[in-house]
Structure 1
Amino acid sequence: MRRVFLTLAALVLLLAGYLLVWPVPVAPEPWVAPAAPGYVGPHAVNQKLAGLNAIDLSGDEGPEHIVVRDGWVYAALASGSIVRMKPDGSGKELVVRTGGRPLGFDFDANGALLIADPMFGDHGGLLRATGMGESAKVEVLTDNVHGDPIRYADGVVAAKNGKVYFTDASRRFGAKAWGGTFAASVLDVVEHSSTGRLLEYDPVTQATRILLSDLCFANGLALSADEQSIFVNETGEYRIWKLPVATKDASAKKPPAEVTLLLQNLPGHPDNLMRGLDGRLWVGLVKPRGAFIDNNAGKPWMRKLALRLPKALWPVPPAYGHVFAFDESGKVLVDLQDPSGAYPETTAITETPDRLYVQSLHAKTLGWLEKSKAGL
């Protein structure tokens, strides 16, 4: 018995030592998490996102960003491709294959694709694609800011004047180097060192500049109707910023007066932003709030300990389908939820006159619902 006891004691000590001192990739920063509001008010629990219609993706997955243009539905997929299809899913064809993981994308005035791909080449960047199919040409527009690499190109939107706005979600955890887009995002949010930034690329001067920095995972973005302001999601802080496009080198830690928090203390992590119809802006809450992250905001050592566990035990909240629309003043207009999370990691909505297409990071199909079901 004494030998068994000593063996068990040694194993306990080894496990304790592992949990306390084994190296992890994060150096967590303390922060103050606002008390989670729960699902109340305009975000009261509902089932309006449940029972989605589904379009088959032919074995692919993750329609993370959707654009509808000239009767075609374009989707960025996990395989590294952007495809297009008719609204019913028929006529599917390859638009471009980057070989990385295209996330946000938009079209410029000439119809070329502008793509944020964090896994293209060495560390990704802002790409431009012309042509169609396997022969499409892909070029890098920018992959650094004054020599500092863009490690996690994420959302992108093109203005009518030709300028391109995009996010570099994290300067610490690039998707290429840290196990893919989702794993890198978890590391960044857990560490909370707030190194994300909102960038502008000028195709005339070919210069890239910073509008807003010090964001905890800078994610989706959208322009205002007059294109004089821009909205950007800060995933790790549960909030959405609004700032003039003329802003230069502002910091989210000490924002100037013209940089404002439009929505904050959301019940989940905001991901993509999409302009809809009738003044609506759609945002997806890719995950609900997690009690572990909030409760240990001021305990960096606990967050380090959590990342020493197997990945299956990392403090990642469960799936919960949730998207909502707001206006440019920040008023919530529509809220759609599916507490079952049957359609996982909802990142935003792409709105057409009769449908809402639901974007997702990992879904096996492209989900959609009739607008009448959403009360629109």
Structure 2
Amino acid sequence: MALFFSPGTTALLFLTLSLALYCSIDPFKHCAISDFPDFVAHEVASPRPDEVLWERDSQNSLQRSEIRFLNQVQGPESVAFDSLGRGPYTGVADGRVLFWDGDKWTDFAYTSSNRSEICDPKPSAVSYLRNEHICGRPLGLRFDKRTGDLYIADAYMGLLKVGPEGGLATPLVTEAEGVPLGFTNDLDIDEDGTVYFTDSSIKYQRRNFLQLVFSGDNSGRVLKYDPIAKKAVVLVSNVQFPNGVSISKDGSFFVFCEGDIGSLRRYWLKGDKAGTTDVFAMLPGHPDNVRINKDGEFWVALHCKRNYYSYVMARYPKLRMFLLKLPITARIHYMFQIGMWPHGAVVKYSPEGKLVKALEDSEGKVVRSVSEVEEKDGKLWMGSVLMNFVAVYDL
């Protein structure tokens, strides 16, 4: 028996089949993972948003921040001050570390010896992604209070150090236990000169950080650099996007951020628990860097707050894999991941892991993104790997 369809039904059937064919072929390579044939989606044990209780900042306090150095810095991830209180110093997207002398920005240091015209200024921080592995990408910055040396976690060049006069930084370590550093991210320095730092992934470089987030890859590591032995050892392995690091005021532990799960994890350095880890705090969002203030409290920059879309994607990797194979760009997936619009948020925790303060710009009107929070003289200095300014908030 012959089947007959109305013109409308035929058109709908044709469009449906055409869409299915387009999605399966993806002729224009819009798929977020089209260049990653070995991409694997891992489950992330992230809690539901309503399971992490916190008091929201209904005043959107970060909207009162002052925007400084607009269009003078691209992607200032980390903000640091030297032992004399000078600065800020910040690493930017073209591979340099800049110093604010009170009047202007000057070049202080750089991490790559292969710089060329491809590292010249570009219109946005994202514009540098293609050549980051050549120009370098300094992320976490810390000064050694004993020597005045600046330690740099460069996403591609590894862990480096430069003296108080600046210049080309010296590589300290580019591998640990025979495995190259893939995405060196942040660091902190103990009183004896030991450096604790993170390698966010051994599979994905920073220029593919969106695919790293989408994957839930668990190849990240937390490491220790011994300045006497001049080598690094792995302290914690199989971490999903380890990021910021900060040593406690009493030196008994350090905390590091688990970006995908959205937590602060504590690694004990002293006492009966030395060498073990536990959960210090579950965060109301997904973190970037963490910094300690003079009172021993921890400021955590949140890349975005928790939302149910990212929770479902975290818990159901097969669904995530299906959606990622559709011809939808990585940028659109990213917007869903962060809740559809950029928004800044920072939270402060006590030395015992209790949430004591939350500040946000939930509308993204002024502070659209925060990568790090540095407290100094009653002000919060906020850098962002994505923005073209530094935001300053009066406490």
TM-score range, shorter chain: 0.7 to 0.9
In structure 2, distance between residues paired with 1:362 and 1:241: 25
* Paired amino acid for 1:212: V
TM-score normalised per structure 2? 0.80
* Paired amino acid for 1:159: D
- For structure 2, the 5+ residue unaligned runs are 1-6, 112-134
* Paired amino acid for 1:77: V
SS at match of 2:213: helix
Corresponding residue to 1:292 among 290, 299, 309? 309
Q: Which position in structure 1 is the counterpart of 2:152?
A: 115
Is the CA contact 2:299–2:347 (under 8 Å) kept in the aligned structure 1?
Answer: yes
- For structure 1, the 5+ residue unaligned runs are 248-254, 372-376
Corresponding residue to 1:140 among 171, 176, 179? 171
| Counterpart check, 1:303 vs 2:324 | no
Q: Quick one: higher RCO (CA 8 Å, sep 6+), 1 or 2?
A: 2
SS at match of 2:169: strand
In structure 2, distance between residues paired with 1:277 and 1:150: 32
* Paired amino acid for 1:316: Q
In structure 2, distance between residues paired with 1:278 and 1:236: 28
* Paired amino acid for 2:20: L
| Counterpart check, 1:84 vs 2:84 | no
* Paired amino acid for 1:118: A
Corresponding residue to 1:268 among 244, 263, 285? 285
SS at match of 2:266: strand
| Counterpart check, 1:64 vs 2:77 | yes
Report the count of equivalent residues: 348
In structure 2, distance between residues paired with 1:187 and 1:312: 11
* Paired amino acid for 1:28: A
Is the CA contact 1:230–1:244 (under 8 Å) kept in the aligned structure 2?
Answer: yes
Is the CA contact 1:323–1:346 (under 8 Å) kept in the aligned structure 2?
Answer: yes
Is the CA contact 1:288–1:319 (under 8 Å) kept in the aligned structure 2?
Answer: no
* Paired amino acid for 1:261: V
TM-score normalised per structure 1? 0.84
* Paired amino acid for 2:314: A
Change (3 A) 1:15 1:43: same
Change (3 A) 1:204 1:256: closer
In structure 1, distance between residues paired with 2:49 and 2:253: 28
Corresponding residue to 1:325 among 335, 348, 373? 348
* Worse overlay, 96-105 or 341-350: 341-350
Q: Report the Cα offset of residue 339 of structure 1.
A: 0.7
Change (3 A) 1:202 1:257: closer
| Counterpart check, 1:129 vs 2:142 | no
In structure 1, distance between residues paired with 2:179 and 2:56: 39
In structure 1, distance between residues paired with 2:180 and 2:168: 23
Offset from partner CA, 1:218-244 (integer Å, 9 cap, x none): 000100112221100001001001112
SS at match of 1:30: coil
Identity of aligned residues (%): 24
Is the CA contact 1:344–1:362 (under 8 Å) kept in the aligned structure 2?
Answer: no
Offset from partner CA, 1:241-279 (integer Å, 9 cap, x none): 1112369xxxxxxx9994110111x22101101111222
| Counterpart check, 1:313 vs 2:349 | no
Corresponding residue to 1:280 among 297, 306, 315? 297
In structure 2, distance between residues paired with 1:257 and 1:157: 17
Is the CA contact 1:130–1:137 (under 8 Å) kept in the aligned structure 2?
Answer: no
| Counterpart check, 1:8 vs 2:15 | yes
Corresponding residue to 2:371 among 347, 355, 366? 347
Structure with bigger gyration radius: 2
Change (3 A) 1:3 1:319: closer
Change (3 A) 1:84 1:198: same
